[in-house]
């Protein structure tokens, strides 16, 4: 079965310098890899570790049992982690992200 999310999770490659670009995480494999990149890896031992653990568990479950429900839960958990660990001020987001990307972030 396909391990692709219904909608990508958008990650700023470097939250300290958001003008460096954005990346779509479209699959479970990309989500698992992202847990160790884009400043998300630092969350594993920080104050958001519960979100990191939740995302990791949901992604592993979605990889082993790629049902629509597990994929949706994995995407949602990864979105919560990204939102907590790599927030970008609205004015910066408006400057560097096309409107379609901004709309996706609101639903992540």
End-to-end Cα spacing for the chain: 23
The domain segmentation of the chain, as residue ranges, is 4-107
Q: State how far the Cα of 9 lies from the Cα of 77, in Å rounded to an integer.
A: 10
Q: Are 12 and 34 in contact (CB under 8 A)?
A: no
Q: What is the pLDDT of residues 17-74, one digit of tens each?
A: 656 667 788 999 999 998 888 767 788 888 889 999 999 999 999 999 999 999 999 9
Q: What is the pLDDT of residues 17-28, one digit of tens each?
A: 656 667 788 999
Question: Whole-model pTM above 0.95?
Answer: no
Asked if 29 and 64 count as a contact pair (C-beta separation under 8 A), the reply is: no
Residue 5 · residue 26 · CB < 8 Å: yes
CB atoms within 10 A of CB 35: 17
- Measured CA to CA, the distance from residue 54 to residue 78 in angstroms comes to 8
96: enclosing H helix or E strand: helix 90-96
């Amino acid at each position: 079965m396909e391990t692709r999310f219904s909608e990508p999770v958008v990650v700023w490659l470097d939250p300290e310098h958001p003008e460096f670009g954005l990346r779509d995480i479209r699959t479970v494999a990309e989500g698992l890899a992202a847990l160790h990149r884009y400043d998300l890896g630092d969350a594993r031992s920080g104050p958001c570790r519960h979100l990191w653990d939740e995302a990791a568990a949901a992604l592993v479950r979605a990889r082993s049992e790629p049902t629509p429900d597990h994929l949706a839960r994995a995407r949602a958990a990864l979105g919560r982690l990204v939102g907590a660990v790599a927030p970008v001020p609205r004015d910066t987001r408006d400057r560097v992200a096309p409107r379609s990307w901004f709309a996706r972030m609101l639903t992540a």
